[in-house]
């Protein structure tokens, strides 16, 4: 089913826009162009370039060389100045690169001009991320979402594919007419596909919504694990459950939310959902596309925000995550902050002085070694306790309907017969707390 979904939804894009499918071009050696914008420090620019290198690795086209360009003035035609462009062109030959990747959102015409001037395929960060997502999508919804994002990305770039083609076929002149009609046909085809993908997505989402409602009706608190890509979200879930969620030193290892039931030592049960990682400047098309997947994070009772504290950019990464959560309307959920990968720090003690100003509960963790696991479980209890407290109820013996209602709609921790009736300890939703107020003892 999945394999055929991939064929149906992703392959046609590749087939028609063969030139745009980097993976099928069998590129093997990328040359990375870092861009230091006016506002960026050299340190930041360097870290961003490192991130692009991880993205290129993840895509399977490792960098053979990197160049940092200080951008004082953008050249509208090719982004970088002519001299710089020529320098890069020479470098391509020198290091025998077969792909150039810019750490910048290139406009379709800049991309086209750069390719033309340097005679090599040029892509930008957004296309790298789209390719990684396309390669990893496994559920029908993810496949559809990415197909849609790719189509939207490709639409203004169709000309590029065909200029390319005509050049390969021995110059633009002879094939121009053909290219143009083909371009129009393609344009129409892509627009039609976009419309039909949107329709199918709406249907898939409706089904998922129904499933989620069913899940929501289970009276178990839910938490979602969010954070920057590669922070260790899946590792955290694996550590807590012994489950086998794919955790890899690759970006966007997880694309589809996976939920697991977890038993906490205090007797509580929770459902924890692993989600897709965030990244700075996540392509807008993809944010849109993944909104519904990310809504898992919004629907949860609380959020576990995992931060890779060993990454020099962790503060920026944390902010990116918080901003996306805000955008999704989940900014005011109760949060448990997890500072992960503490095993990679020389001196974990030095972190403690940050914690004083922290408004959220913070847990130090190493999902790798298991350090901090108990603290994490306690932290989850604490957050839930504040959000969904265990209430003690006393129900008169003749109110069986109330007892039955509580059993059905909440997690019952204790149920015992006492002289006055039935004593229960249960986790109640805010609505039920109000409704059952007269029976609540504490
Ligand atoms: N040293 C160390 N490595 C860790 C720790 N937690 C996770 N990792 C490694 O970091 C990498 C990423 O871990 P994942 O759990 O896949 O990260 P993720 O946040 O789920 O990433 P995406 O799904 O790609 O967004 C893997 O290579 C893990 O083995 C940790 O506490 N210490
Ligand atoms: Mg993951």
- Per residue in 332-371, pLDDT (tens digit) is 888 999 999 999 988 767 777 767 778 888 999 999 999 9
The phi, psi pair for 70, rounded to 5°, reads: -85, 120
- Could you tell me if 360 and 430 lie in one domain? no
Kindly state whether residue 138 falls inside one of the protein's structural domains: yes
- Could you tell me if 234 and 323 lie in one domain? yes
- Per residue in 138-179, pLDDT (tens digit) is 778 888 888 888 888 888 887 655 454 443 433 333 444 555
Residue in the structure block whose two tokens are 């099928």: 24
What pLDDT sits at residue 9? 57
- Find the domain containing 366 and state its range: 218-387
Are 257 and 292 contacting, i.e. CB atoms less than 8 angstroms apart?
A: no
CB contact set of 259 (below 8 Å; sequence gap of 6+): 215, 222, 271, 272, 273, 274
- Per residue in 198-246, pLDDT (tens digit) is 999 889 888 877 776 666 555 678 899 999 999 999 999 999 887 666 6
Among 228, 245, 308, 367, which is best to mutate for testing ligand 1, by the most ligand atoms less than 8 A from CB?
367
Kindly state whether residue 202 falls inside one of the protein's structural domains: no
What pLDDT sits at residue 170? 36
- Could you tell me if 398 and 419 lie in one domain? yes
- Could you tell me if 173 and 238 lie in one domain? no
- Could you tell me if 242 and 317 lie in one domain? yes
Instruction: Provide ipTM, 2 decimals.
Output: 0.99
- Could you tell me if 399 and 382 lie in one domain? no
Collect residues with CB below 5 Å from ion ligand 2.
233-234, 253-254
Kindly state whether residue 205 falls inside one of the protein's structural domains: no
- Could you tell me if 173 and 152 lie in one domain? yes
What pLDDT sits at residue 243? 63
- Could you tell me if 364 and 420 lie in one domain? no
How many structural domains are present in the chain?
3
Q: How far is CA 441 from the centre of its chain?
A: 43
Please indicate whether residue 344, judged by its CB atom, sits closer than 6 Å to ligand 1: yes
- Could you tell me if 347 and 426 lie in one domain? no
Q: Which residues are annotated as a binding site?
A: 227-234, 252-256, 274-277, 340-343, 366-368
The phi, psi pair for 241, rounded to 5°, reads: -115, -10
- Taking residues 20-36, what's their average pLDDT? 77
- Could you tell me if 241 and 357 lie in one domain? yes
- Could you tell me if 379 and 403 lie in one domain? no
Beta bridge mates, 271: 222, 261
What's the CATH code of the domain at 145?
Answer: 3.40.50.11060
């Amino acid at each position: 089913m999945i394999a055929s979904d991939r064929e149906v939804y992703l392959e046609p894009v590749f087939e028609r826009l063969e030139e745009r499918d980097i993976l099928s071009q069998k590129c093997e050696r990328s040359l990375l162009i870092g861009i230091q914008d006016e506002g960026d420090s050299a340190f930041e620019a360097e870290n961003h370039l490192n991130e692009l290198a991880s993205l290129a690795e993840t895509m399977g086209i490792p960098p053979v060389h990197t160049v940092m360009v200080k951008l004082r003035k953008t050249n509208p035609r090719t982004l970088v100045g002519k001299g710089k462009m020529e320098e890069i062109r020479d470098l391509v030959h020198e290091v025998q690169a077969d792909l150039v990747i810019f750490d910048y959102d290139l406009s379709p015409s800049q991309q086209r001009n750069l390719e033309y001037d340097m005679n090599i395929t040029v892509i930008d960060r957004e296309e790298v991320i789209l390719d990684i997502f396309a390669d990893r999508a496994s559920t029908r919804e993810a496949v559809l979402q990415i197909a849609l994002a790719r189509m939207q990305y490709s639409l203004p770039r169709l000309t590029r594919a065909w200029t390319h083609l005509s050049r390969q076929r021995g110059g633009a002149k002879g094939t121009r007419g053909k290219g143009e009609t083909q371009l129009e046909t393609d344009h129409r085809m892509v627009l039609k596909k976009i419309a039909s993908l949107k329709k199918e997505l709406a249907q898939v989402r409706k089904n998922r919504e129904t499933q989620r409602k069913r899940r929501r009706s289970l009276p178990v608190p839910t938490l979602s694990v969010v954070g920057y890509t590669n922070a260790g979200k899946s590792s955290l879930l694996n550590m807590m459950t012994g489950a086998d969620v794919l955790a890899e030193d690759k970006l966007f290892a997880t694309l589809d939310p996976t939920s697991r039931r977890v038993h906490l030592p205090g007797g509580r049960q929770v459902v924890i959902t692993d989600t897709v990682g965030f990244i700075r400047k996540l392509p807008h098309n993809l944010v849109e596309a993944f909104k519904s997947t990310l809504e898992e994070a919004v629907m949860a009772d609380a959020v576990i925000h995992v931060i890779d504290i060993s990454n020099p950019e962790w503060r920026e990464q944390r902010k990116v995550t918080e901003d996306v959560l805000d955008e999704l309307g989940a900014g005011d959920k109760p949060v448990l902050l997890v500072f992960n990968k503490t095993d990679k720090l020389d001196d974990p003690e030095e972190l403690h002085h940050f914690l004083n100003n922290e408004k959220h509960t913070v847990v130090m963790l190493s999902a790798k070694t298991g350090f901090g696991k108990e603290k994490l479980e306690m932290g989850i209890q604490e957050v839930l306790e504040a959000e969904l407290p265990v209430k003690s109820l006393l129900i008169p013996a003749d109110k069986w309907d109330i007892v039955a209602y509580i059993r059905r709609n909440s997690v019952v921790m204790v149920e015992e017969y006492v002289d006055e009736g039935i004593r229960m300890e249960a986790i109640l939703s805010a609505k039920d707390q109000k409704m059952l107020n007269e029976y609540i003892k504490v």
